[in-house]
């Protein structure tokens, strides 16, 4: 009896320290992408209309004010930070503009490079909707990396980056652009277009890899044809062509990642099937308390999707029961469920591992032979106690 208690004590202690290790294991999160993860970069752009600076954006954010998120509350970048126990990584342009003296400190605690409206490609109408597209985001990252190498040991920097998470959410705007541009459609078949999206993304991921990134959390595109603005093209039903293109792109992305991992040493990734996770909510809304899967909560006209969410727009009474916040973005309620699936699985949405397992990969590696020996002895003790 005594031995049993002691073993349990040791095992609990071991599990507790493992939990502690896990909480400590991610030193920083670096975010790249579009409006689904922009936490305020676009507020620093002078020449863009893609800014979340008006009510009712941010109505459910802790400050109850527009917070540069294209959402009623927190977005996926905030919620990922919550999952790993870190503060939300600050927008790159806020660091650049406030001329932070200890730039290495800001860089080492994580940076968000994402920009509303950004795509893998530069976009079809850069004058009207200027954003920081992916190549530029990686340029900014590279600059910060180079500056840091002047301030700290390269090996220290690389160890830090190799343990950090690189969260990438991009591609949605490229697919919107394809449907808005006769020119793009003329130059590329849908198949050619999604293939070039995946290969262009790979080039940028390789640049991050060359500058220390090793652990990637990569989200596929959403069910774009089901967002309110594209439902207007099909009598409020999902627009099939956009959904088909989304699925095709995700397939290309997923196989690109598999190949890339084979070519690259120490690379680990988790791919998240955003499309499947959101389709599940749209098709089974009631099990999660959703009532309206079609209309935007905030906007004007049919499905509240004909005019953007501006101060003069309608706003729904219950933001918890809507899938969509505005004509293209999900509510915080949906984002919470999505981020939970990205972090915890199940495996129908995450491949080859979920984000929690992605963090675990290096924990297993970092267990010393000595720790392994202790664990083994504990297990044996426990087993013996049980059989006695
Ligand atoms: C925006 O304009 C201000 C004032 O003209 C300038 O100092 C700043 O660099 C500009 N910001 C960007 C991101 O171009
Ligand atoms: C940042 O760089 C300064 C020297 O420029 C150094 O004293 C400080 O320790 C560095 N901070 C971190 C967190 O490495
Ligand atoms: C419109 O929606 C219906 C029902 O979901 C679907 O069968 C059809 O393919 C859609 N048409 C277009 C053009 O998206
Ligand atoms: C891979 O990881 C090992 C062990 O941490 C390290 O020695 C090696 O330099 C790494 N190689 C690359 C390319 O990251």
Name the average pLDDT for the chain.
89
Catalytic residue (one of 35, 94, 106, 270): 35
Q: Whole-model pTM? A: 0.87
332-344 and 355-366 helices, crossing angle to 10°: 40
- Does the annotation count 326 as an active-site position? yes
How close is the Cα of 112 to the center of ligand 1, in Å?
19
List the domain boundaries for the chain.
26-387
Name the closest-CA residue to atom 2, ligand 2.
151
Cα gap 388→371, rounded to integer Å: 26
Any ligand 3 atom below 6 A from CB of 283 = no
Mutate to test the pocket of ligand 2, among 152, 154, 160 (most ligand atoms within 8 A of CB): 152
pLDDT, mean of residues 93-102: 74
183 ligand 3 Cβ < 6 A: no
Percent of the chain with pLDDT over 90: 78
Instruction: Tell me which residue has its CA closest to atom 2 in ligand 4.
Output: 266
Percent of the chain with pLDDT over 70: 83
35 is an active site residue? yes
pLDDT of residue 183: 94
Catalytic annotation present for 133: no
How much is the pLDDT for 23?
45
Pick the CATH number of 26-387 from 3.40.50.1110, 2.40.37.10, 3.30.70.270, 3.40.640.10: 3.40.50.1110
> Ligand 2 within 6 A of 109 CB?
no
Residue 210: nearest ligand to its CA?
4
Ligand nearest to the CA of 131: 1
Nearest ligand 1 atom, CA 44:
13
Residue nearest to atom 5 of ligand 1 (CA): 46
Weakest mean pLDDT among 43-47, 94-98, 212-216: 94-98
Contact 342, 355 (CB under 8 A): yes
pLDDT at 381 over 70: no
3-state secondary structure the chain: CHHHHHHHHHHHHHHHHHHHHHHHHCCCEEEEECCCCCCCHHHHCCCECCCCCCCCCCCCCCCCCCCCCCCCCCCHHHHHHHHHCCCCCCEHHHHHHCCCCCHHHHHHCCCECCCCCCCCCCCCCCCCECCCCHHHHHHHHHHHHHHHHHHCCHHHHHHHHHHCEEEEECCHHHHHHHHHCHHHHHHCCHHHHHHHHHHHHHHHHHHHHHCCCCEEEEECCCCHHHCHHHHHHHCCCCCHHHHHHHHHHHHHHHHHHHHHHHHCCCCEEEEECHHHHHHHHHHCCHHHCCCEEEEECEEECHHHCCECCCCCCEECCCCCCEEECCCCCECHHHHHHHHHHHHHCCCCCEECCCHHHHHHHHHHHHCCHHHHHHHHHHHHHHHHHHHC
Protein residue closest via CA to atom 9 of ligand 3? 240
pLDDT for residue 384: 65
Instruction: pLDDT band for 7, please (50, 70, 90 cuts).
Output: low
pLDDT digits (tens, 9 = 90+) for 328-346: 999 999 999 999 999 999 9
């Amino acid at each position: 009896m005594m031995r049993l208690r002691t073993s349990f004590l040791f095992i609990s202690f071991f599990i507790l320290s493992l939990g502690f290790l896990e909480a400590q294991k991610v030193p920083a999160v670096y975010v790249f992408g579009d409006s689904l993860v922009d936490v305020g970069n676009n507020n620093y752009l002078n020449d863009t209309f893609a800014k979340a600076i008006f009510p009712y954006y941010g109505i459910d954010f802790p400050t109850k004010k527009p917070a540069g998120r294209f959402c009623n509350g927190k977005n996926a970048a905030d919620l990922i930070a919550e999952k790993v126990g870190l503060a939300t990584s600050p927008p790159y342009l806020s660091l650049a503009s406030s001329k932070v003296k200890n730039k290495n400190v800001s860089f080492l605690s994580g940076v968000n490079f994402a920009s509303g409206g950004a795509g893998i490609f530069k976009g079809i109408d850069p004058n009207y909707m200027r954003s920081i597209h992916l190549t530029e985001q990686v340029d900014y990252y590279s600059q910060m990396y180079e500056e840091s190498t002047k301030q700290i040991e390269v090996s220290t920097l690389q160890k830090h980056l190799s343990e950090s998470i690189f969260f990438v959410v991009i591609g949605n705007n490229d697919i919107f652009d394809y449907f808005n541009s006769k020119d793009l459609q003329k130059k590329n078949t849908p198949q050619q277009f999604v293939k070039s999206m995946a290969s262009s993304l790979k080039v940028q991921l390789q640049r991050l890899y060359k500058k220390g990134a090793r652990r990637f959390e990569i989200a596929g595109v959403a069910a774009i044809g089901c967002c309110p603005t594209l439902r207007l093209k099909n009598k409020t039903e999902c627009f099939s062509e956009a959904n088909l293109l989304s699925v095709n792109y995700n397939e290309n992305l997923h196989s690109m990642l598999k190949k890339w991992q084979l070519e690259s040493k120490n690379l680990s990734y988790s791919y998240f099937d955003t499309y499947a996770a959101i389709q599940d909510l749209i098709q089974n809304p009631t099990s999660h308390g959703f009532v309206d899967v079609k209309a935007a909560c905030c906007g004007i006209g049919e499905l509240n999707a004909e005019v953007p969410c501006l101060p003069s727009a309608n706003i729904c009474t219950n933001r918890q029961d809507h899938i969509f916040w505005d004509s293209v973005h999900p509510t915080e309620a949906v984002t919470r469920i999505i981020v939970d699936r990205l972090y915890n699985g199940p495996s129908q949405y995450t491949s080859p591992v979920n984000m929690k397992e992605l963090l675990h990969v290096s924990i297993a590696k970092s267990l010393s032979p000595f720790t392994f020996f202790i664990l083994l002895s504990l297990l044996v003790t426990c087993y013996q106690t049980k059989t006695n």
